[in-house]
Structure 1
Amino acid sequence: MAEKGSGNMENNSSDDAVSGRIEQVLCQPCSSNDKQTVADVFCSTCDEFQCTECSNVHTTHAFLRNHKLVKAKEVKTKQIAFDMKGLDQCDEHHKVLEFFCEDDNQLCCSTCAIVDHRKCHSVVEIQTMAERSASTSSKLKIKLQEVREKAEKIVKDAKSSKEQLDQDVKEVSLKVRRMRDDVMKMFDDLEVSVTKDAESFKTETLDKLTKKQSDNEKHIADATKSLETVDNVHQNGTPSQQFILELRMKRQVDELSSNVDKECQRLESVVVSFDFDETLKLPPLSISDCVPGQLTLKYSVPETVKPLIPLDPIVRLTMITSIDLKQTGDDVEKPLYSGLDFLPDGRLIAVDNQNKKCLIYNEKLEKVGSYQLSYIPLSVVVISEEEVAITSGRIDFLRVSKSNEITLIRTCKVTTVYESICMKDEGNFVVGTYDDTRPVRIVSLSGEEKDFSINFPNKKYPIDTSACTYIRNSDKVVLTDRYEHTVYIYDIKSNTRVVVKDDQINEPYGVAVGPSDCILVCSKGTNSIVQISQTGRILSSYKLDMKLPYSVCVSKNKSLLAVSSNMNGETKLQLLQVTY
């Protein structure tokens, strides 16, 4: 007996074809009843080959009339069930995926379609979608092939780089040895040349000195002999003999004296030495302290590879909504939002510097909460899901509930007034000062204040002239200098800084960390948000629909950006979509 659903077929391949024999497909419902009937149609919904009689059920029952029937001879073979290894199962309900919601771009099982997508406008059968998107699998295959080819290229490049690295390290040692051998040969040649000249000088000088020695040894002998004669005559001779001696030897002694005096006048000092030039003299240090060369260690990315993996993706901003900040209700002044930050759930926290308020906005920039402060707030930072901190001459910690109620938790006294604030880690803030020679400091959540080990310039920033932020992943501090039209990027680990100046940066103030840890700065003079890489490269500039952008913040998932202005008469708060 044939198994139901197997699509029994009598089929001849081209290799064993028999004259007069044709391909036949049997009706599956009939086969289940031990009947051998040739199938006339194939129902793709029932997934069965059927004879004319069995297929009439599609016209008898209304709920089967939308099934698609085709002639059996047009279907060469029925597809064999393929094990998708769970890919065709719903992750939540563990049922077969049968539908596709075009509104949410999501695959659904029957339960998903009823429970989660009943209000959606377009939920269709997967089979229908599959017929519409016949080319999807080919695109997916092409994409996967591209991914594999790129990965294979990376592996090949990595292997090549490893081999080249090993060769380069060996070459460094060989190069030092070759230089040492060249230097040693140079010194060997120098020794031969200098010694040759010195020996030639020595030979010439020795001849002179030998003759001078010989001549004066004779003078010594003559003087000694004459002294003996004088002594003998003075001791034994008569006065007449002594007088004769004086006269007879006077000329001889005068000549001897003259010769010796001349030799004395020609006395020479002979010196042979060799000194290196100052450029070749090395101080008495170890070779590690005075290396006559430079070892270069660096990574480089070929220009042809850079576009494949952009290290600094360009941020694109799209306006979502904008509101004018107007003086209403109990406001004593036109609002000025000097600090902004997002809660993890997407709500926006703002502090109104002019009206001493902390406010909450929803995703549509509708005001949903407000809290009156007793002091002028300068900035705000979100600490956790329901806690924020506000700076002034102190730091206040407030609770922001899910129902948009704000309550004061505690106040932390500090010694410095902090204009800007952001999180450094779970237990510390990074804060920007004003009128203090330490422009950026660290404050713990308990109020302990300390300084960075950075050589900041000895400069005080007045109010509204500087703001800071912190890049946690690379341990860098970013500081804006409004009237120097400059952004400074300080590397804490190396105590170095990058100075960023550009025509696109004019009166920079508010600053935040964006996607891929890029830097987003409010450029008040150009009414724009400027994107800067951590290396100081200007990546993009987005013209805002507001004048004098002042404060800026980015949501926790880096998908939203909020910015406010401080233009008298045209103060705005805007929400923008971040893509890259």
Structure 2
Amino acid sequence: MAEKESENLENKFFSNVVPGRVKKILCQPCSRKNTQTVAEVFCSTCDEFQCTECSNVHTTHVFLRNHKLVNAKEVKTKPGSIDMKGLDRCDEHQKVLEFFCEGENQLCCSTCAIVVHRKCHSVVEIQRIAGRSVSTRSELKVKLQEAREKAVTVVKYTKLSKERLDQDVKEVTLKIRRVRDDVMKMFDELEVSVAKDAESFKTETLDKLTKKQSDNEKHITHATKSLETIDNVHQKGTASQQFIMEQRMKKQIDELSNNVDKECQRLETVTFSFDFDETLKLPPHSISDYVPGQLTIKYSVPETMKPITPVDPIVKLTKIASIDLKQTKHVKEPLYSGLDFLPDDRLFAVDNKNKSCLIYNKRLEKIGSYQLLYIPQSVVAVSEEEVAITSTGGYKIDFLHVSESNGIYLNRTYKVSTKYDSICMKDERNFIVGTIDNTRPIRIVSLSGEEKDFGINFPNKKYPLSTSAFTYIPVTVTKWFSPIDTSILSTYMTSRATPESLSRTTRSRNHVV
């Protein structure tokens, strides 16, 4: 009901505008009294438009003096209330967050500010710093988008894993069935082969046994006839006939007896069987008790997802040339605050004390120089014929052209918003630069001159000149599904001193696996 009345009241303030007529905003407190008065200010704390008379209460009452008033004409529409979903409340005290401790980088409610941060000297009202602080919305959105993309990748990979798992479980049953079918086919082929060999063996053996049986049946017939002849001659024949019969039969009987003895000595029983090899014999148990295989569950990470452990190379430095840098009559003792190699191995140096640039060959012989109008800090080779130089005296980055004949001249200058010290290449289109006496110790500058903050939360601390320097080392790693480039940002503290000598070194790496 209250919301409806508020809506009706607001519609009353922002009445339909007649073409050609300026829209009038009415005072809300007066409207509650059924009085129409033009509003002059808008109080963001009270969240209402007020006329001059009604707004005077902010000067009358002390507790209303901190309210922020703005000209009503500058407010095109009444700011709507936003559901912060509890983000504007203290997690511990459930009070509105009104303060910010810059020292500890922490939001505070009134209780936190009094109890926890009472000794801090950098507690300020959020309303005072919200407008001038650097927004991290883009950085937060980038991190959230990256996290969301990674989560999407995990979900996709998990779905693929679930599908693969389901397919693998089905494949186990199919594999057992295929093996069973293969085994059955093998036994069918074995049955046919063994049966064929058995029939061949049977035929050959039966032929031998049949012949042996036939021979011995002939022996039986011969013996039976000989016995009948002996009995007949013995009963009816003369003595001469009996003598002749005995002499004739004696030799035949001896031969028959020898043949039969031999047959008796070769008596044998033929049997036929088939036995499996020991490797094919199954134990007398249920197949569930003796599984001829192993079910394996394996968790593995794809090769493209495995982190690569960096191997620290063994670096050997060998001095191949050196040159002493001495002060001359008209030149101060050199201070080389920046060095870099051009692609053709020429050494480009900036002399901080003498405001100059110098080029050295492989033997460290000076082959070129250029006088600057400012104090240079650092240098980086951008291409085969161009270098970029930072300085402490101005908000700029100079690009110098370096010819093959060692000529040097100013090519272009980029105006920047911050003083930069160290500089190195991040990629083909961007620099990494170290700031001077700034709470953002490192920034990114494109080759087109655009500046932006680096996506890392550094300590809220300022580093004066010559107390810090930064370098950027790109590292290529392989990650999920596609190779991506990540980088290692290394910082190191340094204090510059006048060098006694400039040495050129080479290094050889032996990677330990």
Considering fraction of residues, name the structure with more helix: 2
Q: TM-score, normalised by structure 1?
A: 0.43
Q: Which has the higher contact order (CA 8 A, sep 6+)?
A: 2
Larger Rg: 2
Q: TM-score, normalised by structure 2?
A: 0.48
